[in-house]
Amino acid sequence: MPSKPYSSSHEVTQGGLRLLVANWMDPWNPKAGGAEKHFYELFTRLARRGHSVTLIASGFEGGEPVVERDGITVHRVGTRHTFAIPAVLLARRLLAEWPFSLFIEDLNKVPLYADLWSPIPTFVLVHHIWGRAAFSAAGFPVAALTWLSEALIPRLYRKARFIAVSESTRTDLVIRGIPRHRVAVIPNAAPPPAAPATESGKDPVPLFVYLGRLQRYKRVDLLMQAAVELAREGREFKMVIAGSGPEEEALQRLASELGVATRVEFPGFVPEEDKPGLFRRAWANVLMSEKEGWGLTVLEAAVESTCSVVAAAPGLWDAVVPGETGLWVPYGETRSLAEALRRLMDAPAEVERLGRNALARARAWDWDQAADRLERALREAIPPGAP
């Protein structure tokens, strides 16, 4: 008898669904990011509601091949670079052995094209489509493979339903040929504030924060270019570039070369419990990515009454209302970014106003409500008589 893919202590309840999910990484992978946080917040809620959740993810050093965490059974196969083939093989085996209700592919990097081989209804969860931005995020061979694999999505996912995290992502899918009626939008949500809304914790010296993976397409270098302009004016300010990733050393060298190393701090990886305090101190969260699915840190900053300065780019313009919850900057324009930061430095009252508005808007995005919407969407896809 094959081993059961979900824990006997978390049997599906009457009317519950058996969900098989594939995601590039699991939430307990040391390199986990926003997509994994999104998975955790939604699917642990579904598990607590009596649904069975089995996740296939890539392996990592020290990671157990099979483990149960917070009601989710995780199977780890391959590595971050070899995930696709072993993931498909394991998924097909589990689908043949156990009566799952739905297969959910969390699209990240290279698609698994589950619609071609899954015998049960398929959902595809999409944060964002890379498109040409892939060439800013990876070397040419990987970027070209990503671009080509995405171009095939409309032809190879003819039956699957899609879940997008933003209207920008849905528009991207529709432009590529996915019918709009097959794409539901379930936006990201915000955690509860770590401190009372009345508690002000802004640093007395203007502090601007980037928190996330240090990758090329995030364009963290623009913050330091803007820092050069502000420092040239003799202004007092600090920047914190928090996180780790392939660009960390290059960004540290750049700060030194530009002469702003004393103004820019690189604390490395920041534990979850320390993020709220960092955002609360900041005058603004800054995110200059070429493209995002939504920009989860915009909401994480907002619940600490901190506004965001973002590039006017897909995903980010869904997350920030310009002039109300933060500021938009034309993508790639250092001078415009410096001007936006200068505007906030000169107007502490504006910083407070934008932060209050950001908090008010963030309260409308709730993970429980997002889980409700996901649960409804999944149930609607179940054929009559399915397990």
Candidates 204, 185, 16; CA nearest to 100 is: 16
Name the least confident of 147-156, 252-261, 321-330, 345-354. Answer: 147-156
Where do we find the tokens 């592919």? 105
Looking at residues 8-37, what average pLDDT do you find? 83
Looking at residues 48-73, what average pLDDT do you find? 96
Band (pLDDT 50/70/90 cuts) for residue 9 is: very low
Question: What fold, for 207-362?
Answer: Rossmann fold (3.40.50)
Band (pLDDT 50/70/90 cuts) for residue 150 is: confident
Looking at residues 95-105, what average pLDDT do you find? 96
DSSP letter (8 states) at residue 221: H
HSE (side-chain half, CA atoms, 13 Å) at 35: 23
Band (pLDDT 50/70/90 cuts) for residue 28 is: very high
Checking if the pLDDT of 171 tops 60, the result is yes
CA distances from 223 to 247, 256, 287, 296, 310 (A): 14, 14, 9, 19, 11
Give the pLDDT score at 383: 73
Looking at residues 184-204, what average pLDDT do you find? 77
The answer to whether 210 and 244 are in contact (CB under 8 A) is: no
Q: Give CA–CA dist 59/212, Å, rounded.
A: 22
Checking if the pLDDT of 4 tops 60, the result is no
pLDDT in tens, 71-99: 999 999 999 989 999 999 999 999 999 99
Looking at residues 242-271, what average pLDDT do you find? 96
Helix (H, G, I), strand (E, B) or coil at 49: coil
Give the pLDDT score at 109: 72
Bridge partner list, 190? 366
Checking if the pLDDT of 6 tops 60, the result is no
Looking at residues 26-47, what average pLDDT do you find? 93
DSSP letter (8 states) at residue 232: H
Cite the DSSP H helix spans in 17-131.
34-48, 84-97
Strands 183-185 and 207-211, by their bridges, are: unpaired
Give the pLDDT score at 144: 82
Band (pLDDT 50/70/90 cuts) for residue 142 is: confident
The answer to whether 100 and 19 are in contact (CB under 8 A) is: yes
pLDDT in tens, 356-368: 999 999 988 889 9
Give the pLDDT score at 197: 52
DSSP letter (8 states) at residue 12: P
pTM comes to: 0.83
Residues contacting 122, CB < 8 A, separation 6+: 102, 103, 104, 105, 114, 115, 157, 159, 160, 161
Looking at residues 132-143, what average pLDDT do you find? 73
The answer to whether 158 and 333 are in contact (CB under 8 A) is: no
Candidates 378, 380, 314; CA nearest to 19 is: 378
DSSP letter (8 states) at residue 366: B
The answer to whether 288 and 220 are in contact (CB under 8 A) is: yes
Give the pLDDT score at 53: 97
Looking at residues 308-322, what average pLDDT do you find? 94
Looking at residues 139-145, what average pLDDT do you find? 77
Residues contacting 232, CB < 8 A, separation 6+: none
65: left (phi over 0), alpha (psi -120 to 50) or beta: alpha
Residues contacting 386, CB < 8 A, separation 6+: 101, 120, 121
Location of each CATH 3.40.50.2000 domain in the chain? 8-189+367-380, 207-362
Q: Give CA–CA dist 356/303, Å, rounded.
A: 9
Strands 238-242 and 183-185, by their bridges, are: unpaired
The answer to whether 219 and 332 are in contact (CB under 8 A) is: yes
Give the pLDDT score at 296: 86
Specify whether domain 8-189+367-380 bears CATH 1.10.760.10. no
Checking if the pLDDT of 181 tops 80, the result is yes
Q: Give CA–CA dist 87/103, Å, rounded.
A: 12
Candidates 144, 141, 142, 146; CA nearest to 130 is: 146
Q: Which tokens hold the place of 370?
A: 């997002």
Residues contacting 93, CB < 8 A, separation 6+: 2
Q: Which tokens hold the place of 8?
A: 């006997």
Checking if the pLDDT of 11 tops 80, the result is no
Candidates 281, 279, 273, 287; CA nearest to 320 is: 287
Sheet-wide strand order for 284-287 = 264-268, 238-242, 207-211, 284-287, 308-311, 326-329
What percent of the chain is modeled with pLDDT above 90?
A: 75
Checking if the pLDDT of 190 tops 60, the result is yes
More confident residue, 290 or 198: 290
Give the pLDDT score at 386: 62
Q: Give CA–CA dist 269/352, Å, rounded.
A: 27
Q: Which tokens hold the place of 182?
A: 């097959």
pLDDT, the chain, mean: 91
